[in-house]
Amino acid sequence: MSSIATEPVRKVCVIGAGVMGAGIAAQVANAGVPVLLLDIVRDPADRNAVAAGALKRLQKAEPAAFMSKRAAKLVEVGNIEDDLARVAECDWVIEAIIERLDLKHALYEKLEAVRRPGTAVTSNTSTIPLGHLVAGRSEGFARDFFITHFFNPPRYMRLLEVVAGPASDAALVARISDFADRALGKTIVACKDTPGFLANRVGTFWLQSAVNAAFDLGLTVEEADAIAGKPMGVPKTGIFGLVDLVGIDLMPHLKASLTSTLPADDPYHAIAIDHPLITRMIGEGLTGRKGKGGFYRINREAGKRREAIDLASGEYRPQAKPASLPSAAQKDLKALLALPGKAGAYAWAILGATLTYAASLLPQAADDVVAIDAAMKLGYNWKYGPFELIDRIGGADFVARLEADGKAVPEVLRIAAGRPFYRIEAGKRQYLGLDGAYHDLVRPDGVLLLEDIKLGAKPIIRNASAALWDIGDGVAALEFTSKMNAIDGEILKLIGQAVPLVASKFKALVVYNEGSAFSAGANLGLALFAINIAAWGEIEKMVSGGQMALKALKYAPFPVVAAPAGLALGGGCEIVLHADAVQAHAESYIGLVECGVGLVPGWGGCGEMLARWQAAKGLPKGPVPAVSKVFETISTATVSKSAAEAMDLGFLRPTDGITMNRDRLLADAKARALALAEGYQPPAPPTYRLPGAGGKAALELAVAGFRARGMATPHDAVVAGHLADVLTGGEADLVDTVAEGDLLALERKAFLALVRHPGTQNRIEHMLKTGKPLRN
Amino acid sequence: MQVYSAPLRDMQFVLNELHTDDGFGDLSAFAEITPELAEAVLTEAAKLCENVLLPLNRSGDEEGCHFENGVVRTPAGFKDAFRQFVEGGWNALVLPAKWGGQGLPEALGKLVEEMICATNVSFSLYPGLTNGAIAAIDAYASDTLKETYLPKMVGGEWSGTMCLTEPHCGTDLGLLRTRAEPAGDGSYKVSGAKIFISAGEQDLTDNIVHLVLARLPDAPRGVKGISLFLVPKFLPDAAGAWSVRNGAHCTMIEHKMGIKASATCQMLFEEATGWLVGEPHRGLEAMFTMMNAERVGVGIQGLGIGEAAYQSAVWYAKERVQGRSLSGTKHPDKPADPIIVHPDVRRMLLTIRAWNEGCRGIAGWISRALDAEKHGETPEVRQRAADLVALMTPVVKALFTDLGLESASLAVQCYGGHGFIRESGVEQYMRDARIAMLYEGTNGIQALDLVGRKMPAEMGRYLRSFFHPVSAFIEENGGEGAMAPFVTGLKRAFEALQGATAMIAERGMKDPEEAGAASADYLRLLGLVAMAYTFAKSVRIAQARLAGGEGDLAFYKAKIDTARFFYDRLLPQATAAFLAIKAGKASIMAMDEAAF
């Protein structure tokens, strides 16, 4: 194992600058590793044009491919005719060219001549067996070669399928896998060398059987998607919405490659049928969202009407809202399958076939149920993997229904004999092995999950919106549990209780959770309700209570490390700002967005940001530059698109850490907290030099300019005026020193004035109703 | 004895002084309605009500309506009274000028309505429902239907009804069965039975325009499959004369507890020709336009009866001599003192008076909002007014009618045993007041509408239209001084209301039964705070006038006295309502059904 640490991946070459290759290159660059991106020469006059064009597209990609502008600079473009020899500079060469064996062979032959022995060469193929790829290559090449199959888009999809051959060097596979895990943030699923590997094999079968069943049962696309969407724990787009998203024309490609490689007795052959409607749609360019329309479209000629295609007639018609399923069937798979009529029949047609198929892949395609479940969760965004779904249905019921249908029951279900595939034993999660025994689910080194800790422990304290956990080694973790982890009075109350508890029993505190958002901010619904009933006193208590709670964290006698992942907005961002250090997941979207709903940060966010920018290097002298910088960031409600960008914006300090792999975040944060605990001294409160009324006038002038150019709305100007008042120190004079408490008082004053403003009330109402900001 | 003279001074106070600062502004649409013109309208209305409608109140109750061979006859004198009513243009007071109405503001119209209801609530139902039907037709029907029907209806020649209820379905209109088949020529054949149709048949107008809820053949089940149809009693013949009898017949009239002079009909529609009003399957929406306006009107019935009960009770309390004052003889010239000397009689009289003045104050505010909703100068004003109307409609309906019955009952109490005798006239108020708590949605349904629909609507925005002005008033008038006792009481009740609102929102979100269990007490609490607010505003004005020594000083002094009584003796009910809400649903739901 030590060789892994001593031989880092210092440079990577990606060959093939298509969507996948370019995306992989961007993610390598996001990890801070230089990358050479090569493609063919198409234009003799501009020999790097293909790769350069791909880089340009990457920089404009939505969602963004790069985490920062710095990352983009790490990609160097070239072409395979002039630059192939430079693979000798690289520790890892990723081939991501078109899926044609002859072209791959030709490339490998050239690579063999120029690469350094010991340089890993991997293919991003999704369909071609490893045995075919290395045919004809030297023993040395075969030892350094394996498959690394990424999912699209490579920055965001966490699955990496790794397929090693019998000749592959296990140590090299481990070294590259470790890099992909830690630096690229991927979860490695080891697959065997079988067609389609795991995710696409199950996923393609699932999509095809769901499409077929919708035609067979005469469902509309809306009806189908309402069943095969959220209730099954798969993306809410459902089947047809998903096919629209990935491209309808991809279906025949997947089908062709799988039918040509799967064994003749594979059940996929029986369902791989062409639907005349789909063939016609592809022919007419109706390929989904990227084309002229798909199973759904927005008809711009009919006033942006949402339409869906009728599967029987092939004509578009206005989209219809299908009758909603009974609430039990939306949460409980058993209830869904028990529904009378088409709905229950459709659910079973999909689940019965797909889960049976997934189960039939063991042990040929994977070693255990965990691999298949992980592949589907991380590669297709299923909430539950196939075996977790069988557990939810009940293994015995599932088998009974298969038998009643006269269907073959896969071996793994026989082995389970009605027992669940997963169980919790003595506080540990266990899975059922193919040997019929339960085994502990072992996480990789350096992966620590609150989810696991919670299985074997009770919280130190908890209430409706938060909990405090002992995560070992003298570190406590504060977890939010409210909806979207929105911050409410309960969370503030728990912070108040946690500080003395941690001070007396622990060395450090980590603020962390495993929700989809770290925190979406203060609970706006509660705030609007309080506004509606004119509960101004309650609002003031909420503001000052939040200020006190966050300052209590800041000045606590122990270090506090915030570990955000996903959204950290408004009050969530302010918690991050008050921590002694931050260990952020790379995919952290941080911002003070209060102005978007007509407010200003009220929990100390203004002062914390000012303190940071006053201390920042490289700004011109005097109090104004820091104030301008913070004013610009907050007044435009800027949200970082990554942790790296959050650092540029000042939401993170240059000394804060970034973790690429979501599963490693807690362990990294804990380590950081322990490092700080030794001889920890709470920070001294900052003092400020602020420009006062003169500075405020300058900021307001700038806002007036934006107003005049139509870039700011009337209420923007009102909100900006209050923000300027806070950031310039209100009545402060240049010679005065403004204390932290004074700034907090200014925040409260501005916040309480704004909540009474109808413009702000309308903004909050609109945001809650539509999820979009009101530009009033 | 039924005694009534319109409380013109208080009405003018509400119209011209109380709500000038409500933020709805001067509505330029009514610029020509000067206080002098308004006074003239009120004075004339008072004359008609006192001289024509009041004398028919008891006789109409005694005689009732007559039903023979499908024909309904109203009690003696009603035909003539209706003719005078229409000739004076009173039926069209607030109706749009475009269709021949007078186009006066609701703020004035609702005061006239109060007088009509105070003097003869049975009579009020004949023109009253016509106005609702006109509103629905004007808002939803085709231009042809509007042009054919509205001028005659606004002119008082024809009347209107609203036909919702069926024998098996009242509150739950989703169960509705009446059907409408397309006739092929754009008209429909409407068939089905309707009950409880006020003025479904009468002898006052030449034609009756029924607005009927029915289902089209392809209608979805439930409330989303209901359409609205216009079905006239008479159809035009080839020459255009309205002589062809349509298949819409009254099969009997109900025998009722009260409002006996109002014909409550069972209707049978047999392939009656009708026309669609509004879009297919969207009939409930159109009907609710009508219904919402009617609900405020029903609230006014409660207030009108309350005022009549007050005046009849005061007359008796001054007239009737029994015993001596507890603090010594007050009228040595009489064999005994009039009973008004007794604290408990005064308590009853002041209770009725405070309810009436409080309700009138609220009604004045909501009527202003009804006007501002249509004619406000900015979209913001129109929105805020519409929000206030939506929020307060169930409160006006349920609170005013609950209090109307309470007031009538207190009036009977003031009369002692004589109140129980028909000839006293006051027992009729109790019987007539009772229906207003039931129709247009029972008061229980109003309370559910308030907590279940109005409170959460638009992320709670409706609440703002009420809570913000009250909160601002408290902030502006707090501190020491003559207003202090009132603002202190208002603040306490308002905080109870805020607390109860938060409690219901929180509990009701998790458990709708909690909201249901709290609803009636919550409506009462909100109503009491609204009343406390209008009283406090009244006191502020009255104190200023008294300090300045200007105007009708006796009126302003009495206003403050009534307000003090309300704050001392009635507003404490807010605390009781709050405690009941706080207790939650547990004791309401605990008992097994079998134990009842």
> What kind of architecture, by CATH, is found in domain A2-191?
3-Layer(aba) Sandwich (3.40)
CATH tag, A199-422: 1.10.1040.50
* Three-state secondary structure string covering B122-191: HHHHHHHHHHHHHHHHHHHCCHHHHHHHHHHHHCCCEEEEEECCECCECCCHHHCCCEEEECCCCCEEEE
Test mutation, A533, A540, A760, A772, chain B, max B CBs within 10 A: A533
What confidence tens digit (pLDDT) does each residue in B512-537 have? 999 999 999 999 999 999 999 999 99
Q: Does A536 reach chain B within 8 Å, measured CB to CB? A: yes
Q: Which of A528, A532, A758 comes nearest B467 by C-beta?
A: A532
SS3 B239: coil
For residue B122, give every residue at least 6 positions away whose Cβ sits within 8 Å of its Cβ, in sequence order, or none: B57, B60, B61, B259, B260, B261, B262, B432
**Residue B294 bears catalytic tag:** no
- Chain A, nearest residue to B463 by Cα: A532
Contacts of A529 in chain B (CB under 8 A): 460, 502, 505
Q: Which of B460, B467, B501 comes nearest A528 by C-beta?
A: B460
What confidence tens digit (pLDDT) does each residue in B37-78 have? 999 999 999 999 999 999 999 999 999 999 999 999 999 999
Contact B458 A765 (CB under 8 A): yes
Q: Does B501 reach chain A within 8 Å, measured CB to CB? A: yes
**What integer pLDDT is reported at residue A33 of this predicted model?**
97
Q: How far out from the chain centre does Cα B398 lie?
A: 9
Q: Does A714 reach chain B within 8 Å, measured CB to CB? A: no
Give the integer Cα–Cα distance in Å for B377 and B550: 32
The β-bridge relationship of strands A428-432 and A422-425 is antiparallel
Q: Evaluate whether A537 touches B499 at the Cβ level (below 8 Å).
A: no
DSSP letter (8 states) at residue A367: S
Give the integer Cα–Cα distance in Å for A721 and A704: 10
Contacts of A531 in chain B (CB under 8 A): 464
Residue-range domain boundaries for chain A: 2-191, 199-422, 450-593+639-683, 692-770
- Each as own residue / partner, the long-range contacts of residues B470-478 (CB below 8 Å, 24 or more positions apart, any chain) are B470/A534, B470/B494, B470/B529, B470/B533, B471/A534, B471/A536, B473/B533, B473/B536, B473/B537, B477/B536, B477/B540
Q: Evaluate whether B113 touches B379 at the Cβ level (below 8 Å).
A: no
Q: Does A527 reach chain B within 8 Å, measured CB to CB? A: no
Nearest-CA distance B309 → chain A (Å):
36
Q: What is the pLDDT along chain B (596 residues), one digit of tens a residue?
A: 999 999 999 999 999 999 999 999 888 889 889 999 999 999 999 999 999 999 999 999 999 999 999 999 999 999 999 999 999 999 999 999 999 999 999 999 999 999 999 999 999 999 989 999 999 999 999 999 999 999 999 999 999 999 999 999 888 888 899 999 999 999 999 999 999 999 999 999 999 999 999 999 988 888 889 999 999 999 999 999 999 999 999 999 999 999 999 999 999 999 999 999 999 999 988 888 778 878 999 999 999 999 999 999 999 999 999 999 999 999 999 999 999 999 999 999 999 999 999 999 999 999 999 999 999 999 999 999 999 999 999 999 999 999 999 999 999 999 999 999 999 999 999 999 999 999 999 999 999 999 999 999 998 999 999 999 999 999 999 878 899 999 999 999 999 999 999 999 999 888 999 999 999 999 999 999 999 999 999 999 999 999 999 889 999 999 999 999 999 999 999 999 999 999 999 999 999 999 99
Q: Evaluate whether B227 touches B282 at the Cβ level (below 8 Å).
A: yes
- Each as own residue / partner, the long-range contacts of residues A692-695 (CB below 8 Å, 24 or more positions apart, any chain) are A692/A728, A692/A729, A692/A730, A692/A731, A692/A732, A692/A733, A692/A734, A692/A736, A693/A728, A693/A731, A694/A734, A695/A623, A695/A624, A695/A627, A695/A724, A695/A727, A695/A728, A695/A729
Residue A138's CB is within 10 A of a number of other CB atoms, namely: 12
Give the integer Cα–Cα distance in Å for B382 and B375: 7
Q: How far out from the chain centre does Cα B555 lie?
A: 26
How many CB pairs lie under 8 A apart between chains A and B?
A: 40
Q: Does B459 reach chain A within 8 Å, measured CB to CB? A: yes
Q: Does B476 reach chain A within 8 Å, measured CB to CB? A: no
**What integer pLDDT is reported at residue A546 of this predicted model?**
97
**What integer pLDDT is reported at residue B172 of this predicted model?**
87
H/E stretch holding B251 reads strand B248-253
| Rounded (5°) CA angle B423-B428-B430 | 135
What confidence tens digit (pLDDT) does each residue in B219-261 have? 888 888 999 999 999 999 999 999 999 999 999 999 999 999 9
Q: Which of A533, A536, A764 comes nearest B463 by C-beta?
A: A533
Give the integer Cα–Cα distance in Å for B236 and B138: 21
Q: Which of B380, B458, B502 comes nearest A533 by C-beta?
A: B502
Which member of B106, B201, B307, B440 is catalytic?
B440
ipTM here: 0.90
> What's the token pair of residue A488?
């409410």
Q: Does A278 reach chain B within 8 Å, measured CB to CB? A: no
> What's the token pair of residue B42?
């009120």
Residue A44's CB is within 10 A of a number of other CB atoms, namely: 8
Contact A532 B471 (CB under 8 A): no
Q: Which of A534, A764, A765 comes nearest B471 by C-beta?
A: A534
- Chain A, nearest residue to B474 by Cα: A534
**What integer pLDDT is reported at residue A6 of this predicted model?**
52
Nearest to B278 by CA among B268, B269, B288: B288
For residue A355, give every residue at least 6 positions away whose Cβ sits within 8 Å of its Cβ, in sequence order, or none: A386, A389, A390, A393, A398
Nearest-CA distance B459 → chain A (Å):
6
What confidence tens digit (pLDDT) does each residue in A468-486 have? 999 999 999 999 999 999 9
- Chain B, nearest residue to A761 by Cα: B461
> What's the token pair of residue A52?
């350069």
The neighbouring-strand residues paired with B227 are: B214
pTM above 0.95, yes or no: no
Give the integer Cα–Cα distance in Å for B22 and B365: 8
**What integer pLDDT is reported at residue A321 of this predicted model?**
85
Test mutation, A532, A715, A755, chain B, max B CBs within 10 A: A532
Could you give the maximum distance between any two Cα atoms of chain B, in Å?
83
Secondary structure percentages of chain A, helix, strand, coil, to 5: 50, 15, 35
DSSP letter (8 states) at residue B462: H
Its CATH class, for the domain covering A450-593+639-683, is alpha beta
For residue A499, give every residue at least 6 positions away whose Cβ sits within 8 Å of its Cβ, in sequence order, or none: A552, A553, A556
Q: Which of A532, A768, A769 comes nearest B464 by C-beta?
A: A532
The pair phi, psi for residue B375, each rounded to 5°, is -115, 10
Q: Does A312 reach chain B within 8 Å, measured CB to CB? A: no
> What's the token pair of residue A758?
């109808």
For chain A, give the number of residues.
776
DSSP letter (8 states) at residue B216: -
Test mutation, B380, B459, B471, chain A, max A CBs within 10 A: B459
Q: Evaluate whether A699 touches A636 at the Cβ level (below 8 Å).
A: no
The neighbouring-strand residues paired with A658 are: A584
Q: Which of B380, B461, B467 comes nearest A534 by C-beta?
A: B467
Contacts of A758 in chain B (CB under 8 A): 380
- Chain B, nearest residue to A757 by Cα: B468
For residue A302, give every residue at least 6 positions away whose Cβ sits within 8 Å of its Cβ, in sequence order, or none: none
Contact B467 A758 (CB under 8 A): no
Q: Does B468 reach chain A within 8 Å, measured CB to CB? A: yes
Q: Evaluate whether A628 touches A636 at the Cβ level (below 8 Å).
A: no
For residue A563, give every residue at least 6 positions away whose Cβ sits within 8 Å of its Cβ, in sequence order, or none: A510, A511, A512, A518, A582, A583, A584, A585, A665, A666, A668, A669
Nearest-CA distance B507 → chain A (Å):
14
Low-confidence ranges of chain A (pLDDT < 70): 1-6, 734-735
Q: Evaluate whether A768 touches B459 at the Cβ level (below 8 Å).
A: yes
Which residues 348-387 of chain B have a CB within 8 Å of chain A?
A: 380
Q: Does A54 reach chain B within 8 Å, measured CB to CB? A: no
* Three-state secondary structure string covering A20-71: HHHHHHHHHHHCCCCEEEEECCCECCECCHHHHHHHHHHHHCCCCCCCCHHH
Contacts of A534 in chain B (CB under 8 A): 464, 467-468, 470-471, 498
Contact A534 B459 (CB under 8 A): no
**What integer pLDDT is reported at residue A246 of this predicted model?**
86
Residue A393's CB is within 10 A of a number of other CB atoms, namely: 21
